[in-house]
Amino acid sequence: MTARPETAQSPFDYLIEPGGRLSGRLRVPGDKSISHRCVMLGALARGQTRVSGLLEGEDVLATLAAFRAMGVEAAGPRDGSLLIRGAGLHGLRPPPAALDMGNSGTAMRLMAGILSGQAFDSVLTGDESLSNRPMGRVAEPLAAMGARIETAAGGKPPLRIHGGQRLCGIDYRLPVPSAQVKSALLLAGLYAGGVTCVREPAPTRDHTERMLRGFGYPVQTEGSIISLRGGGALTACAIDVPADISSAAFFLVGAAMTPGSDLVLEHVGVNPTRIGVLNILRAMGAAIEVVNERMIGGEPVADLRVTGSRLHGIDVPQDQVPLAIDEFPALFIAAASAEGRTRLAGAGELRVKESDRISVMAKGLMRLGVDTHETPDGIIIQGGKLGFSRERMEVDSGGDHRVAMAFAMAALRAGGPIRVRDCRNVATSFPGFAALASRAGLAIRAIGPD
């Protein structure tokens, strides 16, 4: 089997040998959510924004390419450093072609909010996976603000956004928790007359609000209500992007479920709206220490030390679901290795991610011999059976980067090798994952498909 580089340009699989443990100190790539927002707000600000620690994954690079197509000048990125010469809120130029958001639902939804306030027409497209994700949830409230957005059948991409519309602030209650929809409305609110108010049914990640304030734009938060008044301006600043807790989650799970592991993850963002994975793993019995806590650019950051422990199944608390929505593929692996049953409910959002993560993970776990049952909005996993087979096992990632990395960690507790199919999209959020995981102690390599 031929070794392959980890890039999104050519297909490859992961082959992981069983056993081992995770140890040492490492820093995972920069936070993807924050990196997207750095590029967006830096492009809309007055002056030069300096970014360090930027995630140079395919998704973020697609966002940067979109703003370059609209006339924004940027130097880099190189080794996580990027200098953006902002065009101001009203300085973007019409792009010469459709803006390709690649695999990123975050980029498409947030860009829809920004582009709704422009004077020119634009089109947002994406790859095959993104083209099947629902965009009506953002197009409809933006239309209520006065935007004109056309979608394909079923509210899916591409999005055709008609410029020159007069936007007005609205008071909108999110039907389901969604940081992406909230952020799109707040970004459109920068261009709207009056106040834009978003009411959340449950807390979601608040990076947009924090970063807007960092760029000097006043945002009010009162309990579950977030609001801003249009007509202001963004002022450039310096941003140090923390390591992504969603990327750290795979290593947290791998170390927590593996006896003898002792791993420190450095400079991880521990925003209170993102630490559901820590709370859930601790509820399962994981030994995780949060040390060296500090504030970097308005975001809380810490080092996380995790050691191997005996995990047990739980009923995932409902209030933690929105705080860990991107980390559940990794948490499903923790549940499979734990003693007893784990039950998740209220997570229907997982069915409309880069894949149907409930279905794809359930099928993969069953191929690994784990007793798994899907529910409409969750999953039931009977743990303790992962690793019985000595034969090589194969699972399909469904082209989903988080599913691929989650199943790679499953090999730490498996009895035989695991081959994870279709891993090219790992580069969208975690370039160099296999190399970093190998350094920590996972026996993983990227190989060409059969």
Q: In whole angstroms, give the CA distance from residue 188 to residue 444.
A: 43
Q: In whole angstroms, give the CA distance from residue 121 to residue 142.
A: 15
The residues assigned a catalytic role are 326
* Cβ neighbours for 147, distance < 8 A, ≥ 6 positions apart: 116, 139, 161, 162, 165, 167, 188
Q: Which alpha helices (DSSP H) does 233-348 contain, by range?
A: 245-256, 276-283, 328-337
Q: In whole angstroms, give the CA distance from residue 69 to residue 80.
A: 21
In what order do the strands lie in the sheet containing 371-375? Answer: 341-344, 378-382, 371-375
Q: In whole angstroms, give the CA distance from residue 235 to residue 220.
A: 18
Please state the three-class secondary structure of 357-389 as a single string.
HHHHHHHHHHHCCCEEEEECCEEEEECCCCCCC
Q: In whole angstroms, give the CA distance from residue 357 to residue 360.
A: 5
Beta bridge partners of 19: none
